[in-house]
Structure 1
């Protein structure tokens, strides 16, 4: 059965920066890889049968400081063109028809590429393929996933033509949950704890936050972000953990909803796509 996995890795290596979505496989799975070409926009997909500051809000070790001069990092891991930090939420664009053309940097190992591909697969599966990741091909715009400094992404689609970057520092950021988190930013999701209604669900302990990082806990207005009227989700993969950006190891975020006090130990640690994150994706893209 292991030779099936080798074949998949070889395909990823052969095509390098162009690919589609891939099944979340295990050693017991039989993965049949086929190439198909859609009839619109020359989009080629790699499919399987069946289809199943420092930018480091996750507290990951080995993260480098962002050194790019053309962007600033807000809310921990959201990139913004210099001078547009406050407006990026108001103009979040969807990827047309839920199709995200992607380029994957060859600096990643085969195993790392498969971690990234698996994260994409889970998003596609969760939305019943309403959201798809495809080869860049001849598309005039695309998402380039590369090993920059830190884990970060722009919010939604920001380019009409050309490259849009998403950074997954190698190897520090190449973990499935982190990849899903950044891809959801690229698809338009903001952090759960920045929601307009967050004060009814969490308490921000400002005295425990490291100096200079308080902006990561900004609360946005209903005019800046859209919750689609879905409830606050302690289990969201877009939620920070309880000691994020702490200066003393004490909690910066406390759960306060009656009956949910124990969630303080699990917020920001789910590492998987589930619940309202999926429903908001479907709503955003009309799935």
Structure 2
């Protein structure tokens, strides 16, 4: 009866849409919830991933969503105490899911999420009438030794209706190779250019500043060394600014301090982007390339282990990932894929224990599919110099901007020579 009500409710009041690929990107309004409440919400969503095939990826508040990749915004603008039924509108890019303060507990949060997922199921999606699906998602008695948040009927309902979407997560990608002479230099396709055009820093110059208190710290030295490493292997330039020298501060720059986000956003962003220097430099134990990964991320380069075709080379153990960090393992879209060989030696490749929450005894969040004598497991993520593929990729992305900078520099030199 409840299922029938949900379907009729969905048909009458909202436009329903399945979450694409079974992935829910979500953000929490930190002004509405304290740290404890935020942690309870994130923990609950992480636990739900172990019960249903849908994934929940925590996303920074400055994430830009579109109608195709929507974002679930968890908030409480009316300061509700209770949680009355909500009407979910899936026609826009942002779906609001209010949670009242008295409902900040795992059972109520799971119930509200379940109602949202039910509302996302299109009325045209076929119900569970296939013998294979019934057999795969048939009800099982609850195991008292492993308490769950969802009942068997609720789990079966979501898993069955999201069966196809969730299958896209695990499906190995078969990216077509470009035709022609393989000796020809790589070129960006139209899709590549559309994906990267807003992520490239103008003139290949990354402006950044550092809190004065941190200039004597070892983390600052590590950051500078990593920047020099990238400059030596590419045409990109990192230009430090001093906010105390009286010179006008640029509009768009990275700012390193004791506060801010753990890692930079992917590629160029307008305005001041605050980043925590310590988390920028230090990652998982032994991850020597952590700061290089984050600098490449700031340059607009997705991680090698997030490539569109990564499932042909590595597998991700979602159970091992720290809660709230799942979005760092999301595959990049096919438009970001460039036909270079998969490179385990890339500085952008994740180590085996990348953002792993349960790897004290040798657990792995990233596992190579083929790994003779653990050679790849022990080496990936530990490079401290850019590989050939890293340099080629940066050259491909920044070639035009760097050329424009060099032409501009030469023009200024010629102008000064003529005026002297």
TM-score in same-fold range (> 0.5): yes
Q: CA deviation at 1:149?
A: 5.6
Q: Residue 27 of structure 1 aligns with which residue?
A: none
Q: Residue 19 of structure 1 aligns with which residue?
A: none
Q: CA deviation at 1:210?
A: 4.8
Q: CA deviation at 1:171?
A: 9.7
Secondary structure at 1:164's aligned position in 2?
strand
Q: Residue 310 of structure 2 aligns with which residue?
A: 198
Q: Residue 289 of structure 2 aligns with which residue?
A: 177
8 Å Cα contact 2:205-2:237 kept in structure 1: yes
Distance 2:272 2:290 in 1: 21
User: Scaled by the length of structure 1, what TM-score is found?
Assistant: 0.60
- Establish whether residue 144 from structure 1 lines up as the match of residue 255 from structure 2: yes
**Of 338, 344, 349, the match for 1:234:** 344
Matches for 1:91-102 after TM superposition, within 5 Å = 92-102=198-208
User: Scaled by the length of structure 2, what TM-score is found?
Assistant: 0.43
Secondary structure at 1:169's aligned position in 2?
helix
Bigger helix fraction? 2
Distance 1:78 1:122 in 2: 30
Q: Residue 62 of structure 2 aligns with which residue?
A: 81
8 Å Cα contact 1:102-1:133 kept in structure 2: yes
The higher-RCO structure (CA 8 Å, 6+ apart) is 1
Q: Spell out, residue by residue over 1:211-247, the C-alpha distance to the aligned partner (whole angstroms, 9 max, x if none).
A: 5544432223203xx2321111111222221133445
1:121/1:172 CA distance change after superposition, 3 Å: closer
8 Å Cα contact 1:93-1:158 kept in structure 2: yes
1:198/1:153 CA distance change after superposition, 3 Å: same
Distance 2:295 2:57 in 1: 15
Distance 2:317 2:262 in 1: 24
Distance 2:233 2:305 in 1: 23
Q: CA RMSD in A?
A: 3.7
8 Å Cα contact 1:144-1:166 kept in structure 2: yes
Matches for 1:7-22 after TM superposition, within 5 Å = none
Q: CA deviation at 1:165?
A: 2.6
Q: Residue 220 of structure 1 aligns with which residue?
A: 332
Secondary structure at 2:259's aligned position in 1?
coil
Q: Residue 154 of structure 1 aligns with which residue?
A: 265
Q: CA deviation at 1:198?
A: 0.5
Q: CA deviation at 1:279?
A: 1.6
1:184/1:201 CA distance change after superposition, 3 Å: same
8 Å Cα contact 1:78-1:154 kept in structure 2: no
Gaps of 5+ in 2: 1-35, 39-55, 71-193, 242-246, 403-420
Q: Spell out, residue by residue over 1:2-32, the C-alpha distance to the aligned partner (whole angstroms, 9 max, x if none).
A: xxxxxxxxxxxxxxxxxxxxxxxxxxxxxxx
Distance 2:226 2:364 in 1: 29
Distance 1:219 1:151 in 2: 20
Q: Residue 111 of structure 2 aligns with which residue?
A: none
Distance 2:318 2:282 in 1: 27
8 Å Cα contact 2:260-2:275 kept in structure 1: no
**Of 391, 394, 397, the match for 1:281:** 394
Give the stretch that moved more between structures: 204-213 or 181-190: 204-213
Distance 2:315 2:279 in 1: 34
Gaps of 5+ in 1: 1-64, 68-74
Bigger strand fraction? 1
8 Å Cα contact 1:208-1:246 kept in structure 2: yes
Give the stretch that moved more between structures: 114-123 or 238-247: 238-247
8 Å Cα contact 1:205-1:253 kept in structure 2: yes
1:227/1:260 CA distance change after superposition, 3 Å: farther
Secondary structure at 1:110's aligned position in 2?
coil
8 Å Cα contact 1:77-1:153 kept in structure 2: no
Distance 1:201 1:147 in 2: 37
Secondary structure at 1:144's aligned position in 2?
strand
Secondary structure at 2:207's aligned position in 1?
strand
1:76/1:169 CA distance change after superposition, 3 Å: farther
State the number of aligned residues. Answer: 209
Give the stretch that moved more between structures: 104-113 or 227-236: 104-113
